[in-house]
Amino acid sequence: MSGPQSASRPTWLGSDRPLARTLGRPVMRFLGIEAAGGILLMVATVAALIWANSPWSGSYHDFWHTEFHLGIGDLQLEHHGHPLTLAQLVNDALMAIFFFVVGLEIKRELVAGHLRDRRAALLPAAGALGGMVVPALIYFAFNSSGDTSAGWGIPMATDIAFAVGVLSLLGNRISTPLKVFLLSLAIVDDIGAIIVIAVFYTSDLAGEWLVLAVATTVAVVLLTRFKVWYTPLYIVLGSVLWYAMFRSGVHATIAGVIMGLLAPAGVLLQPGEIAPIDVGSLNADGLREAKFRMNESVSVAARLEQQLHPITGFMIIPIFALANAGIEISGDSLRDALGSGVTIGVALGLVVGKVVGVSLFTLGAVRLGISALPSGATIRHVVGISAIAGIGFTVSLFVTGLAFDDLAIQDEAKVGILLASMVAALVGVVILLGARATDEGATHG
């Protein structure tokens, strides 16, 4: 009798306890909102800006530059011979988990999602290509030489969390095919950003650590091929791969992408092998067996994405924003930034470059007969989505840290990213609302 009774016992969130009613359930309802991740990211960004420009601004920089001595014996985590700071741990370690989830999302789209259909995938792929090439060219036009030329990868990125958050605020005014187009566009954009980071933002390579990274990757491939799906083993191998990448000169977050792409996407139990059960008639052992069989019917990749997505969206990305978005803003600093080729190149690349690049390449693919627009979409919808793709917050900030060692230049780039992301969101919303109004007017007419 203990099995059914325990199964029907209410959880803490479902109880009538005051804390559950006043805090627990409202928080869970908020986290269930599609735009919640983008809202938390925005809150963290504003908090970082307020902290960095408050009388306690010194504590902001001191906190994120706190040094950590981590290692075992001769294996030490150091950056150019110095202990890692808290900000570097966030950017190198926590962001590896974020990129692991990105790898899982890419694999899902390639295996079972919108990118599985080659013809359907060509449209967002074409748009993403234009959204990377044109912004990079615009940036390079203002920064063709010197140290600042390394920032061409900054305006290439699209922030999925912010972009989806903005679209979610529009509700049912945006059709599902348009949302799918933006998500697919952002996924392909992520693939491009990962390639750019791995190839162009890599320091001097250490051959012996690269060999270890390759050997670890091969081991993971073999384990997945033979269906050895023991999670702790993958955690150990992923950690080894991360450390090897960290020491090799390739950015450590690439380890997260590799592990995400290699995560098993198959299932051990096929749908036909699962029979309906009466949960109420099971004892504790039977319930555990049922739970095990249900887990076996879902791929490792799908389970990991479901478990880690809230952690990255509601914890890691806001922490990253808090650590990286805190720039000091004053009249003099804004004046200097707005006269800087870095700020101008980043801002115009994200706002103008994304609109021009994504729109032209998308419509070009349609005109050439390579693909077709999403159902019900017009040119105005494409331009609106292209503008929202100019919200390049998270990955743009990430690439900024890779492109520049000079903190002053980093701040100039961050000003461009912040301004461009706000303008891109506003322009995109106005265009899409205008497209909706035009569509409704045409329908009533």
112 pLDDT band, cuts 50/70/90, is: confident
CA-CA distance, 162 to 338, in Å (whole number)?
Answer: 24
DSSP strand pairing (75-76 vs 71-72): antiparallel
DSSP strand pairing (82-85 vs 78-79): antiparallel
2, pLDDT greater than 50: no
Number of domains in the chain: 1
How many CB atoms neighbour CB 283 within 10 A? 13
Question: Is residue 288 in some structural domain?
Answer: no
Taking only the tens place, the pLDDT of each residue in 142-200 is 998 888 999 999 999 888 778 877 887 777 777 888 888 888 898 888 888 888 988 88
Q: Which of 134-138, 233-237, 245-249 is least confident?
A: 245-249
- What average pLDDT score do residues 102-109 get? 85
Question: Is residue 335 in some structural domain?
Answer: yes
357, pLDDT greater than 90: yes
Supply the pLDDT for residue 114. 72
**Enclosing domain of residue 407:** 117-200+328-440
Question: Is residue 149 in some structural domain?
Answer: yes
Question: Is residue 370 in some structural domain?
Answer: yes
Environment class of 306 (CB within 10 Å of its CB; exposed 0-12, middle 13-18, buried 19+):
exposed
Percent pLDDT > 90 in the chain is: 36
Q: Which two tokens stand for residue 180?
A: 């799918």
Percent pLDDT > 70 in the chain is: 80
Supply the pLDDT for residue 211. 94
Q: Model's pTM, two decimal places?
A: 0.77
Choose between 301 and 35: higher pLDDT.
Answer: 301
Choose between 443 and 392: higher pLDDT.
Answer: 392
DSSP string, 212-251: HHHHHHHHHHHHHHTT---HHHHHHHHHHHHHHHHHHSS-
Taking only the tens place, the pLDDT of each residue in 77-89 is 776 667 888 998 9
Supply the pLDDT for residue 184. 86
Closest to 186 measured CA to CA, from 171, 165, 200: 165
349, pLDDT greater than 70: yes
Residues across the chain: 445
Question: Is residue 284 in some structural domain?
Answer: no
Averaged pLDDT of the chain: 82
1, pLDDT greater than 50: no
Supply the pLDDT for residue 264. 82
Q: What is the CATH number of the domain that holds 416?
A: 1.20.1530.10
Question: Is residue 276 in some structural domain?
Answer: no
Choose between 71 and 183: higher pLDDT.
Answer: 183
Environment class of 156 (CB within 10 Å of its CB; exposed 0-12, middle 13-18, buried 19+):
buried
203, pLDDT greater than 90: no
Place of tokens 């933002």: 201
DSSP string, 43-79: HHHHHHHHHHTSTTHHHHHHHHT-EE--EETTEE-EE
CA-CA distance, 131 to 184, in Å (whole number)?
Answer: 13
Taking only the tens place, the pLDDT of each residue in 379-402 is 999 999 999 999 988 889 999 999
Question: Is residue 359 in some structural domain?
Answer: yes
Distance of CA 205 to the CA centre of its chain: 26
Closest to 194 measured CA to CA, from 130, 145, 256: 256
- What average pLDDT score do residues 302-316 get? 85
213 pLDDT band, cuts 50/70/90, is: very high
Question: Is residue 156 in some structural domain?
Answer: yes
Amino acid identity at 220: V
Amino acid identity at 180: V
